[in-house]
Structure formats: structure tokens, C-alpha cells
Chains A and B, each alone.
Chain A
């Protein structure tokens, strides 16, 4: 099969748009969260400033090869995830590199970055990093479950694993969206979504407001910058999958921006309302509230 080299600049364009939107959205959501807490919040460009500062920092040390590779894994995971899924439905330009694999590829590629960064964090030798990873893995193993179940319910529903075909099946009015044709699956997936967005009540993994804990503990300068870039891309890439599977996808950029924002907002909305769970609490919570919905959705398809 001849490879269309134009895919590369197109994909880079998608990447560029998404990175910028991601930086913007991260700050926006954070600011909204702060306002809900009666605080002023960060300036909207703060993330850019941080990133540029971090890339520019000269202090550069390493704890070893895996430490070095961790952020690379992390960002590759985010970028890959984005590029393996078509961003804009019906657009050849923004179908990215989705020819390489289907939904399953995207699902499993989510773990690529997680695993790599966990390894890098591990080599730093910092116990907090290891604790963070341990918590994160423990939580994500159950948080991803309702999502995986929902994804499979959708695949069963449309009898395909191709993201494009799933989106195609949802065209023709919002009542065709999975949200309305299979609400149980969407409910399960949206509960699972909360667990992977690192916001309360499921943010004990990085515990951002307290002592430095979590996988990035030892990361700084360019390493951290790579990870920050990923923090802009990864949520959007993940939301794109949600959007495509459950909310009819997006056939143009404005729809895209709008839907992504709303989906993102959902996690922030829950986040500002609820306090934090301990890990075993969140495991139980997902198993009790979200997983049964997923199971139901699979059985009832």
C-alpha cells in the first residue's frame, strides 16, 4: 500500500491545533475551577509560560536511562493516541494516521505513555514517585474498566471496531448519538472518564496541592516540559475518543472545540464539588457504581 506522504504535514497540523487548544483549555478549566472555589486562578497563558520556561532551563540532570526515556514515552503516548484516531469526521486532512489500526489500538495505546512514564519515575528512586505510580495503576485499572466495557458495548452495538464507522453510524441528528441510543454505556464511560482526568475526587495519584508526590516528583526542566506538553495533548486525545464514540464525533473544528470543551468541563464540574477519595475508596466506587452500568450496557446491547 503506497503511503500518502501528505499525511505527515496534515497530522502535524492536527497536532499543532490540538496542542494549542489543550494549553488553552487546561488553563481555562483550571481557572473555572478556581473561580468555583472563590479564587482568582491562573492567567490563561500561564501554561505557555511554564512550558517555555521549562524548555529553557539549563539545569539538567538525569537519574539514568529510563528516567531519560520516561517523558519521551509519555509524550509519544499522547501524540500517538491523538494520531491513531481521526480527529474530524469526514475530513481526509484530519483523519491523521488512523489507517494503522482501529479502536483497539487506541485503547491499548493509552497505556504506552502511562507505562513509560511510570518506568521513568521509578528510576528516579524517589519513593513518592513509586507511591504515586502504585496508586495510579491501582486506580486506573478499575477506572478504565467501565470505559472499556462501554467501548465494547458500542463496538457490539455498531458491529465494528473502526472509529470512523462508529462515527458514521451516529450521523443524522443528535438523537443518533450513542448518548441516546445507548445511554447506559455512555453513563458508564463518563463515570470512568472522571477517574482518568486527575481531578477530584480521583486525584490522589498526583495529589497536586500537597507535598510533592506522584510520578513527576523528580522531573524538571525539559523533562517536565515534555510532560506538560503531554498534559495538553493527552486529555484532548482521550476526549476525542469519547466524542467519537459517544457524542457523534465532530465534522468541523468549531463543533470539535465545543464538544471537547463540554466533555472536559464534566470532569471539572464533578471535581469542584467533591472531595478526594483514597485509592481503595475510588476502586470500590468504580466497581460499585460504574462497572455495573458497563456490564448492563454490554448485556443489553
Chain B
């Protein structure tokens, strides 16, 4: 292997060489710069290869011919190799990226760039304290120099502020060095560590100054105003280096210092880290300038990594895996994002909508924010999982809470930004970029995915988890990224075949319970996808998102351990988020969806971690073995997490917008299919953990109440909607409430009823959403009162809606009645009377919104502007007709689906099941014969119909306005169609129940956060002197905390 010193030699040599060149030879100078950076990259890469592939041992390189402490030594180990590679590669790519600027400014700028990268590699490699100081100063000087590259005139002031702060820091650093040296007699870091500096006289204070000087370079809260200014005003090419390479190098320096300080300094690192992480993320919330936002995010991420380093006492060897995963994710993502920011003309976040003209950049952006948010399949996800698992195992719950809160806020502003990109108007100034710039971004993108794979493999190797990027459904979903150039119908066919094939290949794996979900997810998904044939063109981005969601869903039911379950959960969350975001006006709704979902996911993560008690691999079934006092808390966390997905009341506010604003074929997917994921989670939870008590409160009883209230309020809110799809969305809240109620009953029939709701809800809600979507597509509005009288124009849609509402309402003979019948039988054996009453209240209310749905759309008066519209497109009608057939079939023979589940449920709840004799179904209390009911009703109906046909055989259709209207002719259809505010008396009587309390509450929470952040961030008043004061106070406070502790 090449001596690591040559990394530094190459940079220094090239920098000197540049000085010798004439100023006209800029091209040559640029080539030399690139060459030097390439050499550095190549050497580092060689070392990475050696450590990873050949398992080489770390090597020390000596300078000055003697061994330490009499000379400076550089160490090259795996972390150093990776970090030098990161630094030099970032430098190389940024140099490529900044070609124009560098060539315009000449070789001096290039030399400064080389020195900067050299200084960073020096910080990483050196094991000598004073040498570390020198490299730090070099980094500072070159950073200030590179600030001058920026076109932004304000960068000057930022550079000066930076110098002020660094002057103070170098004073601290030197004090620390000299006292540490005085105490130990060596400047070698390892030497100091063995001499245990902290135990020497004055050693602690010496280390404090060292530590604080280096940590302050990480821009800890509140001493970080200067860092933000640099991020905001620097050239994005340099900001990439500053964010990716400088932060990483300094983090590593902190890591080295902690070696000296020992375990007693770890809490301080954690404290500073986590406070910085939270504060920076919070302050980023009201930020509108893209680069400053990136700065806040960078500061936050380094804070998080610092906090992780502070946990090395319990993380042990895993610290490399965790901190490394976070660090590399952060570095790559930030480098990439900063590079992209240079391509965008405007500085406001919505200006980034310009990226839409280049889908590859959008993909890069989304990759980067997924990496930052710790989403699968990127390293940050694996790191997050292991970190939380180990922390929970050691009982550091508060820290988990703070970290997850910070991550949630960060995901919030990052995804809000993504929403702007996808949904805001494309600004006039489009993206301008050179091939060099694109290739830099592309390298970051590729390395992000590659690292995702590497971390997956590591996770497989060390913890026995599956590599997500090797899971067949995920691979299948990602393949669509490569196929996105194909026309939509081809991709649609591939998707349908893929789903069906996967079901065909795996259907023997599932127990009857999972079978129901597998059928709904795979076959159900394929049926809904039929509607997607209606879309023309290429439909960029639709299929990767859809298939990612289905991949998550199917991995969810196939998961056996908590890791697999959680990974699947996040996958389906992301996939569905992209899907929901595609709706025309869904920007805010998709955002609230992802925030609620991620919040729920974090609770699940915490619950699983708590349950595992540190065990790397935790089987889901092992949840059953949990005992007091842990079990109820795990139950609580998981239950709230899953109920976020089923939109239980209070956590429901994301649902109406997300489901109603989604595209026509997406609404049935996210409503009919996706909601079932939450129910599946609850089923798994209740199946393993059963009833749990917390402070004497039966948690399933609380769930019963939540289910009942969801059913009541969901239904109640549905009846006041004017928007057809919103109405259906609210109705889903109610329906999920019923299912939740059934599960929480914790008896055989309750579960059977919940499963019946799972099936029924999939069928009729998919059908109704398609039907309403088809009508909306033809009429161009979703407001029901604008429609009316469409029955003659869209008869098939009407039939689907009619069958749908009969089924939803539970009126015999359709399958909804079966659900109600099982429901009554389930509650009759239950002790819980009061929540039952609430459910009773909810029941009849469903009729109100259902009638409104069908009446105001299809019946009443046809409007003039719709006289010529056609039936909904064939591909919308086809799945609806399939659903009609399914509903009728399921109504006559519910046993086909339920009988096996009924038997299976005997394992969980022995006894209390149904008897299936012939066509009759009976319970301990009552009986029901679906076939007989169907026949009797059909016969009566048929007979009467025939009779009426006979009597009224000459009936002829009259014109629309031929009605008895007090002897007048109605004026216009608009004034004659009674539709708007249909249930006005109901609102008068019960409207107080549907005040948007939950919405107000969550609005209040977000507003408070925003306001608090907006006020607090004024701390950074832009004055360099204030920043110096912040730094001084930071040092004093840290000192007091340290001495107090």
C-alpha cells in the first residue's frame, strides 16, 4: 500500500507547483489540481480496499525517523481510510463541480482548495495533538480563503466572523495543549490516553479546553451562528466540502480526543450533541433560505453523531457501524444537496421546483433526504435501528426520545421541501448545469445506494438481518426506476404480473390470517392496478412508488423478526408517501401523512427496541414473553404507532386530505389496502401480547374506547362533507374504528368481525373510491352538490356505488350485514357496555353519508354542463364490476374466506367461534343463513318487480323538469337539486361534536414549534461579536455543567 503520508505530500506538492505556474496557465493548473486530488483519492481508496477486502491491520506511519512521542505519527486504519477517501473524493468532486469558479480565480484558489483538503486529511490521520492543532489552523485559514470563492458578497462577513471565532478557539486549543503536555509530558494522543490525562493535576481542565476547542468546531448550539453564515454564503461547491468533509474530519478529531478524556467525558459529548441536534432542527423549521436550511441540517446531523460518539460506552464496537452509517449518510447527502443547490437559481425553498425539469435530480434529492431522515435502505436506517436498540437495552429512554423527536422534525422540514419541489410552480429560471456538476451529483447518488447495500450486508453479517436491497419485492420495486422510460401500460402489466406471480409463488407460506392480508395486498393490489391502465404517457415515478409500497406491505406480513417488520413498515410508508404526493393538491396532506406516519413509525421503533432489551435479533413472537413492568409500555408504544396508520381518532387528521387528494387509482390503494397495514400491526400486537395493564388500566379497554369514538366521530364528520372523496375518507376513519373495536374486544368473534371488515372495507372502499374518482374525472369536480342526476349518463358507476353503499351500511343481503351480525354476536359476550353504546350511536349515522353520496351525485337534477359527459373510463369500470361480483359472492358465501380463519382463531381464542352447518352460520346466540336471505329477498323483490312491470308496463320516461312543483316549472337544475349542506338540521343538533379539535390541537403543536423556533433563532443576530459572545458563554456553561456534574 502507498504510504499515507503521500496523501498529504501530493496535495502540498501540487499546491507548491501551482505557485510556480504562470497565472495564464489556468487550464494546466486545474489539471494538476484534479490530478493531485485524484492521487489522494486513489491512495485512500487503496487503503479502504486493503482494510475491507484484505482485512489489513491498521498501520502507523512515522515522520522524522523516530517513533512517538519524539515524532509525529500518522495512523491509517479503516475509519481513517474511509474518512480520507471521503474528504479527498469530496474535494475532487467539488473541484470538478467548481471548474468555472476555480479557473476564473486562478491557481491560488486551487492551491487553497488543495490545502483545505490536505488539512482535513491531516486532521484525520495525525495522532499528535499539536499537529492536530496545526492542521486545524490550516483548515481554518483555507476555509476562510475559500469563502472568497463565493459570488455572494456577504461571504466576506461570514469569513470574518469565522476567523473571530477560530481565533478564540485556537487560544483555547493552545491552552489545552500546553497544560495537557505539562501534565503528561507527551503530545501524542495515544500517549496521553495511556498516561490518563484526566487523573493528573490540572489534567481535567486541560482536557476541557482541548475538548471544547474541537467540539466548538462542530458548531454546537448556541455557538454556531458563524457556521450557518458560512453555509449560507459559501459557494455550494465549497459548502459541500465544509459540510461533508470538514464535519467528518472534526468529528473524528473529537473521537480521538475522547480517547484521551475517557468515559467521564462521554455524557458531555452526548449532551452537547443532542441539544445541538434538537435546537438546529427546530430552528430549521421556519427557515426559507435553502442553503441556510442545509446548514442547520448539517449542524444537526453532526450533533447527532457527536451524541452517538458520547454513547460509545454502551455502543462498544458498534459505534463504528452506527456513527459511521450516520456520518457517511450525512456526508454524501449534504455534499449532494449542496451541489444541487448550486444548480438552482433561486434561494427560496420553492425555487427548487426547477429540479422537476430533470427527473434524475429529483431522484437524487429524494435519495439524499431519505438518507438524512434515516429511511431504508440507506445506512442511516440501519444505524438508527441499532442505535435505538442498544440505547433501549441500556435504558437510555430519554435520549431515544430526544433523538427521535429531532429526527421527526428534520424529516418534517426535509419532506416539506420535497413537497415544494414536486408541487410548486416551476420558476422561470431553469436548472443550469455542466456535465461535471451532474457527474459529481451522480457519484454522490451512486455511492448513497452503494453504501445502502454495504450497510445491509454488514447488518446481515453482524446482526443477522436481511439486506433490504436484496429482498425480492424491493428489488422488483427498484427495477421500475430503470424501467421508467417505458410507457405506463407496459409497466402496469409488469406490475400486475409481478404482484400476481409473487402471490402464486408464496401463497403456501401464509397462515389463514396472513392469507387474508396477502390476498388483499397482492391480488387486491393487482385488481386496483387495472384502473391504472387508464393513464396515458409514461407516468414517471408512479410505479417505483407504488411497487415500493407493495413491497413494504408484503414484507410486512412475511416478517418474522422486529427488524424486518419495521423495515417493511418504513418502506411502505415512504412508498405510499410518494404515491399520495402525486395528487394535484396533495402537498400539505402528503406532508402531514409522512409526519404522522414517521412519528408512528418511531414509536414502533422505540417499542420494538424496548422489547428486545438489547438483543440484536428479536422474533416478533417473542413479544408474548414480555413481562411487567416492560410489557405494557411496549404495548402502548406499538399500539399508538399502529393506530397512527389506521387513523384512530385524534391521530386521524392526515387521512381525509391524503386519501381524497390522491389520484383516482391511488385513493383506493391507500384506503382499501394501505390502512390494512395498521390493522395487521395491531393484530400481530394483540396476538402476541394480549391484554396489558398499565397502572391498573386495561389497555385493550382504552383501545375499545378509541375504536368506538373513531367510529362515531369518523361517521359524523363524513356526513358533513361536500367533497365525495373526503366523505369516503372520513368514512374510512369510522370503518377502521369498527375494526379496531372488534380487535380490542379480544374475543373470537370480535376478531372475526375485524377480519370481515378488513375484507369488506377493501372491496367496497376501493370500489367507491374508483367510482367517485371516475365521476370526478368526468365532471372535473369532487364537490357533490355540483353533480346530480348522473345515473343515466354513468349507470355502471351508479351500480357500483349502489352496491357499495348497501354493503357499507350493513343492510341485508349484502356482505356488510355479515360484518354487523358477527359484530353483535361479538359484543353480546363482552363485558364492556359503555363503548358499545358509542358504537351503537355510530351505526345509523352511516346511512346519512351513504345516502348523501349516492343521491347528490347520481340522483336529483342533472346540470346543464354535464349533459354530454360519458360513463367513466373502461379501466375504472372494470375493477368496479369485479368488486361488485366479489361483494355478491362474498355475501352469499362468506365461509369461503372466513371459515378457515374462524378455525385458525381457535388457536388464539379457543371456543366462541361460529358453527358452519350447510349454508347456515350460527353462534352461541343467533343464526344467519346468507344463502336463504339472498334467495328470499331476491324472490320477494323479483315478484314485486314483475308485478310493477306488469301494472306499469306503459310507463314512459318524462323530462327532467316534469315534476310537481307547486304548479310551477323549476327555474334551474342548480336551484332545484337539493344537495348542498344536505344535513343542515343534523349540524344544528350535533355539529358541536365535529368541531376540529384534533386539527386545532396539532395545528397548535406545529405553530408553537414554529413560533418558538422563529423567536429563538433570532439569537443569531448576524453580529460577529455576538457570535464570539455565544462561544464564550457556551464554554462557560459547558464548564459549569462539567464541574457541577
Residue numbers of A with Cβ under 8 A of B are 1, 55, 58, 60-66, 68-69, 71-73, 75-76, 79-80, 83-84, 97, 99-105, 108-109, 111-112, 114-115, 118-119, 122-127, 130-131, 133-135, 137-138, 140-142, 144-145, 148-149, 152, 155-156, 159-162, 211-212, 217-218, 221-223, 225-226, 278-280, 283-284, 287, 291, 294-295, 298-299
For B924-938 the 0/1 string (1 means CB < 8 A from A) is: 011111001100110
A124 to B959, CA, bound (A): 10
Interface check B918, CB cutoff 8 A: yes
Interface-located stretch among B739-747, B774-782, B817-825:
B817-825
A81 to B591, CA, bound (A): 49
The residue of chain A having its C-beta at the shortest distance from the C-beta of B927 within the complex is: A102
Which of B806, B927, B957 sits near A162, CB closer than 8 Å? B927
Are B837 and A295 in contact, CB atoms less than 8 angstroms apart?
A: yes
CB distance from A143 to the nearest CB of B (A): 9
Which one of B820, B933, B989 has the greatest number of beta carbons of chain A within 10 Å?
Answer: B989
Given contacts A140-B844, A212-B964, are A104 and B820 in contact (CB under 8 A)? yes
Which of A108, A149, A280, A291 sits near B988, CB closer than 8 Å? A280
Give residues 935-983 of B contacting A (CB, 8 Å).
936-937, 940-941, 944-945, 948, 951-952, 954-958, 960-966, 970, 976-979, 982-983
Interface check B889, CB cutoff 8 A: no
Write 11 A-B pairs (CB below 8 A) sorted by A numbering.
Answer: A63-B957, A69-B945, A72-B941, A73-B941, A84-B936, A101-B926, A108-B820, A131-B978, A137-B851, A148-B843, A212-B964
Residue numbers of B with Cβ under 8 A of A are 789, 791-792, 795, 802, 805-806, 809-812, 817, 820-821, 824-825, 827-828, 833-834, 836-837, 840-841, 843-845, 847-848, 851, 854-855, 859-861, 917-920, 925-929, 932-933, 936-937, 940-941, 944-945, 948, 951-952, 954-958, 960-966, 970, 976-979, 982-983, 985-986, 988-990
A278 to B961, CA, bound (A): 29
Residues of A near B843 (CB, < 8 A) are 148
Are A155 and B929 in contact, CB atoms less than 8 angstroms apart?
A: no
Given contacts A109-B812, A162-B927, are A97 and B824 in contact (CB under 8 A)? no
Q: List 5 additional contacts besides A60-B956, A63-B958, A111-B847; criterion CB under 8 Å.
A: A61-B958, A62-B958, A102-B928, A114-B847, A298-B833
Given contacts A62-B955, A76-B937, A126-B964, are A141 and B812 in contact (CB under 8 A)? no
Given contacts A148-B843, A221-B952, are A162 and B926 in contact (CB under 8 A)? yes
Are A138 and B985 in contact, CB atoms less than 8 angstroms apart?
A: yes
Are A152 and B840 in contact, CB atoms less than 8 angstroms apart?
A: yes
Are A125 and B933 in contact, CB atoms less than 8 angstroms apart?
A: no
Which of A84, A115, A126, A144 sits near B965, CB closer than 8 Å? A126
A79 to B939, CA, bound (A): 11
Residues of A near B961 (CB, < 8 A) are 125
Residues of A near B844 (CB, < 8 A) are 140-142, 144-145, 148
Are A280 and B948 in contact, CB atoms less than 8 angstroms apart?
A: no
A3 to B13, CA, bound (A): 101
Are A134 and B982 in contact, CB atoms less than 8 angstroms apart?
A: yes
Are A1 and B859 in contact, CB atoms less than 8 angstroms apart?
A: no
Residues of A near B918 (CB, < 8 A) are 1
Are A118 and B851 in contact, CB atoms less than 8 angstroms apart?
A: yes
Given contacts A76-B941, A80-B940, A123-B859, are A134 and B978 in contact (CB under 8 A)? yes
Which one of B820, B844, B957 has the greatest number of beta carbons of chain A within 10 Å?
Answer: B844
A291 to B851, CA, bound (A): 24
Residues of A near B954 (CB, < 8 A) are 58, 60
CB distance from B601 to the nearest CB of A (A): 37
The residue of chain A having its C-beta at the shortest distance from the C-beta of B834 within the complex is: A299
Given contacts A76-B937, A125-B789, A141-B848, are A130 and B978 in contact (CB under 8 A)? yes
Are B955 and A125 in contact, CB atoms less than 8 angstroms apart?
A: no
Given contacts A104-B928, A155-B925, A299-B833, are A80 and B937 in contact (CB under 8 A)? yes
Residues of A near B945 (CB, < 8 A) are 69, 72
Which 3 A-B pairs rank lowest in CB-CB distance, beginning with the nearest? A161-B926, A122-B859, A102-B926
Residues of B near A138 (CB, < 8 A) are 848, 983, 985-986
Are A134 and B983 in contact, CB atoms less than 8 angstroms apart?
A: yes
Given contacts A61-B955, A66-B859, are A97 and B810 in contact (CB under 8 A)? no
The residue of chain B having its C-beta at the shortest distance from the C-beta of A118 within the complex is: B851
The residue of chain B having its C-beta at the shortest distance from the C-beta of A106 within the complex is: B812
Are B855 and A55 in contact, CB atoms less than 8 angstroms apart?
A: no
A55 to B985, CA, bound (A): 36
CB distance from B836 to the nearest CB of A (A): 7
Residues of A near B964 (CB, < 8 A) are 126, 212, 217-218
The residue of chain B having its C-beta at the shortest distance from the C-beta of A160 within the complex is: B925
A1 to B964, CA, bound (A): 51
Which of B920, B948, B960 sits near A125, CB closer than 8 Å? B960
Residues of B near A71 (CB, < 8 A) are 948
Are B944 and A104 in contact, CB atoms less than 8 angstroms apart?
A: no
Are A298 and B837 in contact, CB atoms less than 8 angstroms apart?
A: yes
Task: Summarize A's interface: helix, strand, loop or mixed.
Answer: helix
Given contacts A108-B812, A160-B925, are A61 and B976 in contact (CB under 8 A)? no
A105 to B986, CA, bound (A): 27
CB distance from B291 to the nearest CB of A (A): 56
Are B855 and A130 in contact, CB atoms less than 8 angstroms apart?
A: yes
The residue of chain B having its C-beta at the shortest distance from the C-beta of A111 within the complex is: B811
Are A161 and B824 in contact, CB atoms less than 8 angstroms apart?
A: yes
Residues of A near B960 (CB, < 8 A) are 125
Residues of B near A135 (CB, < 8 A) are 985
Given contacts A72-B948, A76-B941, are A133 and B851 in contact (CB under 8 A)? yes
Which of B833, B847, B919, B955 sits near A137, CB closer than 8 Å? B847
Are A125 and B926 in contact, CB atoms less than 8 angstroms apart?
A: no
A58 to B811, CA, bound (A): 34
The residue of chain B having its C-beta at the shortest distance from the C-beta of A153 within the complex is: B833
A97 to B963, CA, bound (A): 40
Which one of A64, A134, A148, A278 has the greatest number of beta carbons of chain B within 10 Å?
Answer: A134
Given contacts A1-B918, A101-B933, are A115 and B847 in contact (CB under 8 A)? yes
Which of A73, A75, A141 sits near B845, CB closer than 8 Å? A141
CB distance from B632 to the nearest CB of A (A): 27
A46 to B165, CA, bound (A): 102
Residues of B near A131 (CB, < 8 A) are 978
A130 to B858, CA, bound (A): 13
Residues of A near B860 (CB, < 8 A) are 122-123, 125, 127, 130
Are A119 and B859 in contact, CB atoms less than 8 angstroms apart?
A: yes
Residues of A near B965 (CB, < 8 A) are 126
Are A222 and B951 in contact, CB atoms less than 8 angstroms apart?
A: yes
Are B840 and A149 in contact, CB atoms less than 8 angstroms apart?
A: yes
Given contacts A295-B837, A299-B833, are A104 and B821 in contact (CB under 8 A)? yes
Residues of A near B928 (CB, < 8 A) are 100-102, 104-105
Are A104 and B824 in contact, CB atoms less than 8 angstroms apart?
A: yes
Given contacts A145-B840, A155-B828, are A283 and B955 in contact (CB under 8 A)? no
Are B989 and A119 in contact, CB atoms less than 8 angstroms apart?
A: no
A111 to B851, CA, bound (A): 12
Which one of B805, B806, B825, B855 has the greatest number of beta carbons of chain A within 10 Å?
Answer: B855
A159 to B851, CA, bound (A): 34
CB distance from B738 to the nearest CB of A (A): 15
CB distance from A155 to the nearest CB of B (A): 6
A21 to B550, CA, bound (A): 60
